Structure formats: structure tokens, C-alpha cells
Amino acid sequence: MGWLSWERFRCNVDCDKDPDNCISEKLIKSMADLMVSEGFKDAGYEYVCSDDCWQSMTRGPDGRLQADPKRFPSGIKALADYVHGKGLKLGIYEDFGYLTCEGFPGSEFYLQLDAQTFADWEVDLVKFDGCHSQLTDFDYGYPAMSFYLNKTGRPMVYMCEWPDYLNMNGIMPNYTAIRKSCNYWRNYDDVQDSWDSVLDIINHFGNNSGNFSSFAGPGGWNDPDQLVVGDFGLSPDQERVQMAMWAMMASPLLMSVDLRNIRQESKGLLQNKYLIEINQDPRGIMGTRRYTKGSIEIWTRPLTPPGQMATAFLNTGYHGVPRKLTVTGVELGLQNYVKYNIYDAFNRNKIYDSVIVSDNFTVIINPTGIVMFRIENV
Amino acid sequence: MGWLSWERFRCNVDCDKDPDNCISEKLIKSMADLMVSEGFKDAGYEYVCSDDCWQSMTRGPDGRLQADPKRFPSGIKALADYVHGKGLKLGIYEDFGYLTCEGFPGSEFYLQLDAQTFADWEVDLVKFDGCHSQLTDFDYGYPAMSFYLNKTGRPMVYMCEWPDYLNMNGIMPNYTAIRKSCNYWRNYDDVQDSWDSVLDIINHFGNNSGNFSSFAGPGGWNDPDQLVVGDFGLSPDQERVQMAMWAMMASPLLMSVDLRNIRQESKGLLQNKYLIEINQDPRGIMGTRRYTKGSIEIWTRPLTPPGQMATAFLNTGYHGVPRKLTVTGVELGLQNYVKYNIYDAFNRNKIYDSVIVSDNFTVIINPTGIVMFRIENV
């Protein structure tokens, strides 16, 4: 859980004309400040991460990466100190190729040195991209960076774009190998600030090619990309969908929003403790799409202790009228000889008391909206 | 300006299972009540309209249309009386074909009788659809219904789906003929509760095939379909876009939203007096898209008195970051030898004082968002 600059701030390097929104230590520090003062830290968000464009265009005379001196005048080590002083952790971006996606120096030929640099700077998370490199090198390169990061002795979360690039090129990722090297990994396209993009990602995860959901678990996670909750493109219903589905999918929950002017409703959703509890469930089993009924997708996620689960009803339609759906206990995954209480997953209000497998349940789901249950055996 | 049932309530006729949301006199009356009590009437909304599905499946023994007796037990005349008692006007739906789109009796072979029935019921607006009919009959049928409506002696606003059906079938509508018969007309596809749909409609109007914008003016209007502001599919920025662009396009402003539970922000937007004033400008000239710069569309609309105008900057991108654009006075349509004051069209705050044609203006437009100026010569 944390905050990542990319989706909201992209590669804005123009601090002369846009000092408040360019990628800079000022921006990262102000987000760190707000993560604490606005309750995001207390809600569980811990990593504050710069994506691409933090760098200088050249390496230093010692071959080391260096931050852009104008936008990060104090350097990354000082930034890490600042972030640590807030009780948070710092994430940083690099790329396996010879350049980053935006054209800054990449790690090719420098894997070990860059890993050591990040450790020396006391970075806590490395997002490792795959632009400007050979697909055929990935099976070597991503594990190599993992090896060098581990070799530094500093624990750093290691995020890989590895399967995303393979998927883009029609190659089935080897998730066994990926999980061995990476702590989390992007499976699919970059999220954009639109419902179409969020739904497209949900459906890639629902289709679950390569059965990658089974690889999620403590130590390694599928990443459907950043939350765009609080940005410009989602309706209140659609924001609820993203937050709830990202919880269902055991996603890393990386916000990418301007915390200086986030709407109250969006903030409350990002800090929803019931959804976060589901997201952070200790067993770490990823939710999957069980089936589809017309425009409704039904997803379930087993929770801790066994017998508990979350069930989401996602309405992908935009046809004006909330959709009413009646489902059976069997369809919800209820079992014989067990009684269940059913709660609204958003607020923990009990909706049904001591229900059994033969009962029916009616849900009303807004267009591009979601209803989500948390189900517990009595 | 008014409220229309279709986009939000569709053809829900199940009053047994869904008594609060089915198409019924109860629903129409409750919307009329709320139009008054919640300030929509004061803001200018006047017509409360039932779309398809108000009818009984059969005509009466006298051949007349009749309302469904279960859902409209008091009948349409009584409903009109109720609505008139609120100081509002009643709109009703029919279809030129032998059936309505949803399969209720159409007006084919009954044009004169149906026009008289609507007049007898003291209806104030007729929306006339085109399902289940021959395209080749439209050039006769729509003017015929206009003739019979006029013949009743009761003034009724006459809305035609005529050009929409021609457009769907690749036939260029004859807007000269359409304007002669109809008070407003749907040019393009039904709006859905999604940004894609709203943007698609805006761009059909922007592309303006057949130059139909020139046919808008007092007595006859192009209709980009209902406002979905307050429904489920638009973000706050996207709702601002729809309201502002519908104002630019001199649209009839028909809401289709559940007024019983509309969000405050959406309500404020629907009642924004500055946008409504632009929408209702007495000259009634429709705004047009002047040009496009990357993801930004620039629209202008001349206002009353000549020398005033509205200019909208619409960002169709969903790429995370608000877009900054600098435009010249020439691009805004400013003229030599004239000084202008520029106001934010949403709140009438003055942004620029006494500017001239050689000045430059910078606007920052959110993704899927809009900035709109009202410009007045000093």
C-alpha cells in the first residue's frame, strides 16, 4: 500500500512553469506529509514512490545514477531520510533497458551498481520497468536485478513489469519464475483515468489467462496497476468499483492522486478500513471471477479464517437502471450444514442473519457500480 | 427544459416488484413534486415527460390510446391536471409506426385521433418516435402529425426523432423540412449513462454533418438527448462537461435522473443559472466546434447582445494530468478595436479585465473536463 506518482503526475519535469506539479522532491515530500496528516498512513498506506523522471539525464562520473539536481536538489538519500522521518518508506523507479520509458538512463550494464546505489540511498522499494530492452533478456535480467538487490543486504520490495511486456507481445509469462524473483508484478496494460481502462483491467484479471491468480500470496502479488480514485475520470460508483475490486484482487493498492485536493468521498473510499482489511487478508488469496450473468460479474475471494469470504457483484452495464439480481446460496459459495451472516463489505453492516445454502439473495447493483458482501460462517 | 423518464427509468413496468421505479403516475407525480420543491422549476425546468411505456397494450373500444390502467389509474388527463397544478407542463411519448419501440400501440393510421386525444388530455409536449415504421414514410408522417397537432388548436411542443432514424440509416436529413414541422429533433444516437456516449454525441455535433447547427433557433432546436447528470456513469468533471456542452449546443436540457436521491453537486450543476442563461440565450444560435488542438476541442457560441460569446475548452484525454493550453485572442474570436472582459462561465467570476485581440490566454483543463469562458465586450 502506498502512493505512486505516475498515473496522476506522469513525466512532468517543467518545474519552472509548473513548480507544484513537476516530479520533484517537493512533490514527493508534500505527498508524504499528506499521507500522514490526512490519515492515509494510519489507514495502512506506507510507501511513497516516485515513478519515472526523477533522474538526471546522465549518470555521474562514478557511473552512478543521480537525481535531477534542479528538481531533487537534496538528492534521493535526503529524500529517503525525510520520508523515513515521517514513518513512511520510499520507492523509486528504474528500467531494465538502456533507457527508461521516458528516456532517462536505464540499468542495462549497471544492474549491480544501481542495486547498490538504491541500497546506499536507503530506498525501500524498486519499481523495475522494461522499456528499451530485449524481451528475450527478461528471463535473465529480472532475476539478476533481484539477486543484486538481495545481495545489498537491504530489504527492498521489488516490483517487476516483466509479465506486462510479455503479455503485450503475446507471450505467456512464466509466473513460477516471476514469483521467485519479484514481490509484485504488473500483469497488464497501464491504467488510465477512465472507466474503460479500469473495466478492461478487471476483465483481464477475470479472464485470468495463465491462471495467474493462483500465484498471489504473501511475498508475491499480481498488480492491476494504480488506483485512480480521486482523479478525474471515474464517477462515485465507478470509484467504489475500483477500490472494491482492487481489494478483491489482493492488489498492492497504490494510489496515484493529488492528495492536496482530493474529494472527501474519494478519500473516505481510499481509507475504507473494511475494504482494506479484505485487501490485506493474511492468507492473501486473490479473488477470481466465478461467473457472469448478463451484465453482472460475480467475483469471490476466500478470507481468513477459512469459511469467510468476500463476494462482489459488478454491473458492467451503463443502461440507466440499477440491475436486480437474485442469486442462490450455492452461487455465493455457501456450504451445506453451515450458517452464515452476510455483511455489506463497505460498512460491515449485517444484511442477512444466519442464512443457509438454500436461501436466495437479491442484490440491486447500479450501472457501472458494485455491491459487495463479506460472508462469515456463524 | 424539463425532465424525461427514459434514460434513467427506461421501460420498467413492474409495479408489483418495483413500485417506486416503474413508469407510473406515481413516479411522474413525484418527479413533478420534486421539480418544484427542490428548485428545478425556479431554475427553469418546466416540462415533466413520460417516455415510452405509459400505455395500455391495446387501444380502447373507441380506438383511442389509453394509459395502462394499473400504473396510471387516474389517467393522463388527471395527471396533466396534477402537473399543471404544480405550474409545470406534461409531456408524453408516441411513435409514428404501428408500435412504439417497446411494443405499445403506435400512431400509424391514428395520427389525427391521437393528436386530438393528446389535446383532449391537455398534454403540452409530444415526443414522436420512429420505431416500427418505414423510413420512406417519415417525410410524410412527421409533417402530418405536426399538421394534426396544430389542428387541435392546443399549443403542444412537438419533438421528432425523424433525423435520428435517417442518420442511423445513412440518409442525410432535410433539416429545412424538419424545422418546418418540429420544435426540436433528435439528431443522433440515444445517450447512455457513460462518458463514451456523451463524448460520442458531442463529437457528432462537433462534426456537424449537414451543417445542422445552422438550423437551431427560436422555435426549433437540435437535441443531443437527455442529460445524465446525477446518474451513475459520469465523474464530477464529466458532469460539468455535459451540462456546459449542452448549454453551448442550445439543447432542450431534459434531465433524466432520480430527483429523489440526486447528489448535491449534480443538483447544483443542473440548476447552474449561468449555464442555463447561456443555454437559453434569446438569439438561440447553436455553438459549434471551431477547432481541435491535440486532445482539446475549442467550441464557441455567439450570445446576446452581439459581441458576447461563450467559449468552451473540452479536454477529451484521460491521460492523468490536466492539460495547459495557451490560446490567442484571435483563436477565441476576439476582434480588433474591441476590449473584452472574460468571465468563468460556471460562476460569472471575472478572470480577465479589458483584454484585446493580441493578448494570450492560458487555460488548464482537467482530463475529461472543461473550462468555459463567457466573453463580453467592454
Residue-number span of the structural domain to which A363 is assigned: 288-377
Of A8, A231, A319, the CB nearest to B192: A319
- Same domain? B200 vs B326: no
Q: Round the average pLDDT of chain B to a whole number and report it.
A: 97
Among this protein's residues, is A190 annotated catalytic?
Answer: yes
Say whether the peptide bond before residue B305 is cis (omega within 30 degrees of 0). Answer: yes
CA distance A129 to chain B (A): 19
- Same domain? A270 vs A306: no
Helix H or strand E encompassing B186: strand B184-186
Q: B73 falls in which pLDDT band (50, 70, 90)?
A: very high
Q: B238 falls in which pLDDT band (50, 70, 90)?
A: very high
CA distances from A66 to A20, A53, A57, B41 (A): 22, 11, 9, 62
* Whether residue B313 has pLDDT greater than 90: yes
The pLDDT assigned to B259 comes to 98
Verify whether the Cβ–Cβ distance A192 to B235 is below 8 Å: no
- Same domain? B104 vs B124: yes
- Same domain? A31 vs A134: yes
Note whether A362 contacts B: Cβ–Cβ < 8 A. no
Verify whether the Cβ–Cβ distance A231 to B9 is below 8 Å: no
* Whether residue B333 has pLDDT greater than 90: no
CA distances from A270 to A46, A267, A327, B234 (A): 13, 5, 29, 19
CB pairs under 8 A between A and B: 96
- Same domain? B213 vs B317: no
> Which residue in B has a C-alpha nearest to residue A368's C-alpha?
B233
Q: Which of A62, A56, A59 is CA-nearest to residue A24?
A: A56
Note whether B266 contacts A: Cβ–Cβ < 8 A. no
* Whether residue A246 has pLDDT greater than 90: yes
Note whether A5 contacts B: Cβ–Cβ < 8 A. no
- Same domain? A249 vs A334: no
Cα separation of B287 and B281, whole Å? 11
Q: A209 falls in which pLDDT band (50, 70, 90)?
A: confident
Give chain A positions within 8 Å (CB) of B368.
193-194, 232-233
* Whether residue B331 has pLDDT greater than 90: no
* Whether residue B195 has pLDDT greater than 90: yes
Full DSSP string of A85-109: HTT-EEEEEEESSSB-TTSSB--TT
Query: Which of B224, B257, B280 finishes a domain?
Result: B280
- What are B157's strand-pairing partners? B125
Of A7, A17, A368, the CB nearest to B233: A368
Q: Let me know the angle formed at the C-alpha of B183 by B177 and B185, rounded to the nearest 5 degrees.
A: 70
Instruction: Find the Cα–Cα–Cα–Cα dihedral A151, A152, A155, A156, rounded to 10°.
Output: -100
- Same domain? A223 vs A337: no
The pLDDT assigned to A333 comes to 86
Query: Which of A280, A310, A339 finishes a domain?
Result: A280
Query: Which of A280, A297, A330 finishes a domain?
Result: A280
Total number of domains in chain A = 2
Q: Which of A252, A229, A251, A267 is CA-nearest to residue A34?
A: A267
The pLDDT assigned to A30 comes to 98
CA distance B366 to chain A (A): 7
Cα separation of B316 and B297, whole Å? 8
Q: Which of B230, B232, B250 is CA-nearest to residue B240?
A: B230
Report the range of poorest mean pLDDT among A114-118, B143-147, B208-212: B208-212
- Same domain? B209 vs B336: no
Give chain A positions within 8 Å (CB) of B192.
318-320
Cα separation of B285 and B250, whole Å? 7
* Whether residue A331 has pLDDT greater than 90: no
Instruction: Find the Cα–Cα–Cα–Cα dihedral A347, A349, A353, A359, rounded to 10°.
Output: -50
Cα A201 to the center of its chain, rounded Å: 12
Q: Rg of the Cα trace of chain B?
A: 21
> Which residue in A has a C-alpha nearest to residue B226's C-alpha?
A320
The amino acid that residue A155 corresponds to is: P
- What are A328's strand-pairing partners? A360
ipTM: 0.95
Contact A318, B194 (CB under 8 A): yes
Burial class (CB within 10 angstroms; exposed 0-12, middle 13-18, buried 19+) of B324 = middle
Q: A224 falls in which pLDDT band (50, 70, 90)?
A: very high
Verify whether the Cβ–Cβ distance A233 to B238 is below 8 Å: yes
Contact B53, B63 (CB under 8 A): no
Q: Round the average pLDDT of chain A to a whole number and report it.
A: 97
- Same domain? B26 vs B164: yes
- Same domain? B265 vs B359: no
Q: Let me know the angle formed at the C-alpha of A61 by A100 and A147, rounded to the nearest 5 degrees.
A: 50
Note whether A295 contacts B: Cβ–Cβ < 8 A. no
The CATH number of residue A353's host domain is 2.60.40.1180
A340 CB contacts (<8 Å, ≥6 apart)? Answer: A329, A334, A352, A354, A355, A356, A375, A376, A377, A378
Mean pLDDT of A207-218: 94
Of residues B335 and A101, which shows the higher confidence score?
Answer: A101
- Which DSSP letter does residue B136 get? G
Cα separation of B309 and B345, whole Å? 10
Q: A232 falls in which pLDDT band (50, 70, 90)?
A: very high
- Same domain? B267 vs B300: no
Cα A374 to the center of its chain, rounded Å: 21
3-class SS at A126?
Answer: strand
Report the range of poorest mean pLDDT among A22-26, A73-77, A205-209, B366-370: A205-209
Mean pLDDT of B83-100: 98
CA distances from A55 to A24, A73, A82, A267, B6 (A): 10, 11, 18, 30, 54
- Which DSSP letter does residue B300 get? E
What are the tens digits of pLDDT across the range B242-284?
Answer: 999 999 999 999 999 999 999 999 999 999 999 999 999 999 9
The pLDDT assigned to A210 comes to 87
Q: Residue A84 is placed in which grid cell? A: 523515513
Query: Could you identify the residue written with the cell 522532491?
Result: A25
The CATH number of residue A254's host domain is 3.20.20.70
Question: What is the Cβ-side half-sphere exposure of residue A291, based on CA atoms within 13 angstroms?
Answer: 7
Verify whether the Cβ–Cβ distance B324 to A18 is below 8 Å: yes
What are the tens digits of pLDDT across the range B29-55?
Answer: 999 999 999 999 999 999 999 999 999
By percentage, how much of chain A surpasses pLDDT 70? 100
What are the tens digits of pLDDT across the range B288-311?
Answer: 999 999 999 999 999 999 989 999
- Same domain? B275 vs B190: yes
Catalytic residues of B: 129, 190
The amino acid that residue B85 corresponds to is: G
